[in-house]
């Protein structure tokens, strides 16, 4: 664990996919299967990993750059969403350590929000199916914020919804785009990598890089 001293936060903002939910693998399968269905073939892993943590709009722009301007974006969007909903309905695993972390934050009365680049539709299905929807004071999606990560809008909107200054918020993120968004928003961030390896930027600017939410809980308890 890499860390520096900081003031205990007044609120915590959680990313969703890859941080709380082991759902990135579901997105990966839905995207790759739809690309195959459209006759484009699966994109390589390095290219796919660049899309992790970004909004759907930004990911689609990157696909157009990768696959050409004739790529049927609208058809792709409809197709992968249908595939994702079918896969998600079969169950989305919760990341180890999430329940103890949420329970402890409830005990100390710390406000918490979700800040995700997913859409309202995706967030509602994911959080309701896993029983997490009611555990947060606010849920901010890209639909509500207007601009997805790595821009800071989602996290800034989450701070406003909690009525907490950005500088007093701690973000928990699994992606490099999310780390960048948090830092740009003026927030501290702990990275819990999932599919992506932390970039030099993330290593330099994140408050800590840990391997699980269990470690996040220990980190916070040690400084509370």
Q: So what's the pLDDT on residue 169? A: 98
pLDDT tens digit string along 163-219? Answer: 999 999 999 999 999 999 999 999 999 999 998 899 999 999 999 999 999 999 999
Report the alpha-carbon distance of residue 42 to residue 35 in Å, rounded: 6
Q: So what's the pLDDT on residue 5? A: 57
Here the contacts of 129-136 (C-beta below 8 Å, separation 24 or greater) are: 129/88, 129/89, 129/91, 129/92, 130/21, 130/92, 130/94, 132/20, 132/94, 135/102, 135/106, 136/14, 136/112
What pTM, to 2 d.p., does this model score? Answer: 0.85
């Amino acid at each position: 664990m890499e860390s520096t001293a900081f003031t205990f936060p007044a609120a915590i903002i959680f990313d969703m996919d890859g941080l709380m939910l082991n759902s990135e693998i579901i997105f990966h399968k839905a995207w790759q299967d739809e690309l195959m269905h459209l006759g484009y073939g699966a994109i390589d892993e390095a290219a796919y990993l660049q899309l992790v943590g970004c909004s759907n709009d930004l990911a689609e722009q990157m696909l157009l750059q990768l696959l050409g301007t004739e790529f049927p974006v609208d058809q792709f969007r409809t197709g992968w969403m249908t595939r994702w909903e079918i896969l998600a309905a079969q169950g989305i695993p919760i990341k180890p350590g999430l329940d103890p972390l949420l329970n402890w934050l409830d005990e100390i009365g710390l406000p918490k929000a979700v800040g995700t680049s997913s859409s309202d539709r995706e967030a509602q299905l994911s959080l309701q199916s896993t029983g997490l929807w009611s555990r947060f004071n606010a849920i901010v999606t890209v639909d509500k914020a207007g601009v997805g990560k790595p821009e800071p809008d989602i996290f800034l909107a989450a701070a406003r919804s909690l009525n907490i200054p950005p500088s007093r918020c701690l973000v928990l993120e699994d992606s490099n785009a999310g780390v960048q968004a948090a830092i740009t928003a003026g927030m501290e961030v702990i990275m819990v990598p999932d599919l992506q390896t932390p970039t030099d930027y993330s290593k330099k600017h994140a408050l800590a890089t840990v391997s699980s939410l269990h470690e996040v809980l220990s980190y916070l308890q040690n400084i509370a």
